[in-house]
Amino acid sequence: MSANRVARTLLGALAGMALGVVELAFLCLVWPAAVLPVARPAVGRVAARLMAAERTRLALWLDHDTTRTGGHGFLAARAALGVLGGYVCAAGLFVSGLFLFGGLWDLVSGESESVPLEFPGVKLITSSWALGLTTGVVLLLLVVLWILAVGAVERRLAARLLGPDGPELMRRRIAELTATRSGIVRAVDDERRRIERDLHDGVQQRGVALAMLLGRARHSPDQARTAELVAQAYTESRQLLDELRSVAWRVYPTALDELGLRAALAGVAERSNVPVTVHYGLTARPASEIETALYFVAREAITNAVKHAGAHDILVVLTENERTVSVTVSDDGRGGAVPSGGGLSGLARRVMALDGDFTVDSPEGGPTKVAATLPRAAPCD
């Protein structure tokens, strides 16, 4: 926890202790008046102002934003926590102040006395001023820790009783689905551009070369030269077929549907110029959409490690639990992978569209770890 957050938590918890006294007074003195119909509007306004003060305090110092107004249950819990926390804090500060004042007085006045301290097997003699200052400082630190603990409980209480309500959850879900839908559209467009580049730079160039060789062979009057050109055309045609198979495999491997994820990843490992180790820990095949996402995450991470990271060893680990399946790809390359890059950002959009989590940990100098966690079944299942 940073020093700034510690200071804000201390301020927020202390403000909550003071506000707890006001809330306790409201619950004991004002809230019972709500049984009278004429007093209900005034009681409601007071409660609303207290909740507004709580929301401001939580957002300003405890980093908890909420749109819910809460109720008397939250105010009662807050009042109890605030009064209890404030009492312990005040008592601790009072006792700590007594020890500190007594220690300083003995130190300044020179009236310090020797104080024997006996522990099991150990006997010490210290001065009263040193004992007073030490005890006071220790108590002061304990009070600070108590205030931080109260702040942590405040956050949990707010998260439980003032979490997002139904409409807010629906609004967030709609925003998330809108973002992931747009992301999938961009990912599809990026994939189409990549396929077009593969066809233009590879397949198309070899097709042009093949046509030129056949045209020269057709118009050559020299049979020996014709045979040589036909042989070159045959070689070029084989390379063209290999290029077509490579492009088709990069678009979607048939082994993924026919043999499953384990076989598809084995094929990726075989085609890699860098040793790839696959630890397959799934007991059953995931849903088709999940299996495809796991495959493309692993394949893209392996491709990046080979092309850009200069990796010498790559490890792919697939694990599962009752609700999720995960893939983690680690390499020993130079690191520096950018999550917002074309390939990785496309993977992130694909994973998020399936309600999954996607992370990239790639410090400069390496190593790099790309991980995706997805539900066992697609969201629409």
Q: Is 189 exposed, middle or buried (0-12, 13-18, 19+ CB in 10 A)?
A: exposed
The answer for residues whose C-beta is within 8 angstroms of residue 154's C-beta and 6 or more apart is: 12, 13, 16, 58, 62, 81
- For residue 210, pLDDT over 80 is answered with no
Q: What pLDDT does residue 325 have?
A: 92
- For residue 175, pLDDT over 90 is answered with no
pLDDT > 90: what percent of the chain? 13
- Range ranked top by mean pLDDT from 60-69, 100-109, 111-120, 336-345: 100-109
Q: Please tell me the distance from the alpha carbon of residue 19 to that of residue 56, in angstroms, as a whole number.
A: 12
pLDDT in tens, 242-270: 676 666 555 666 777 778 888 888 888 88
Both structure tokens of 130: 């040193």
Q: What pLDDT does residue 183 have?
A: 59
Rg (CA), the chain: 35
- Quote the Cα angle for 278-284-286, to 5°: 85
Residue 138 or 342, more confident: 138
Domain ranges, ordered by start, for the chain: 3-163, 167-251, 259-375
Both structure tokens of 248: 């088709």
Cβ of 375: how many Cβ atoms within 10 Å? 16
- For residue 378, pLDDT over 80 is answered with no
Q: What pLDDT does residue 3 have?
A: 78
CB 362 within 8 A of CB 330: no
Look up residue 328 and give its DSSP letter. E
Lowest mean pLDDT among 136-150, 220-234, 282-296: 220-234
Q: Please tell me the distance from the alpha carbon of residue 266 to that of residue 263, in angstroms, as a whole number.
A: 5
pLDDT in tens, 20-32: 889 888 888 888 8
- For residue 381, pLDDT over 60 is answered with no
pLDDT > 70: what percent of the chain? 81
Mean pLDDT score of the chain? 80
The CATH class for the domain spanning 259-375 reads: alpha beta
Q: Please tell me the distance from the alpha carbon of residue 119 to that of residue 142, in angstroms, as a whole number.
A: 22
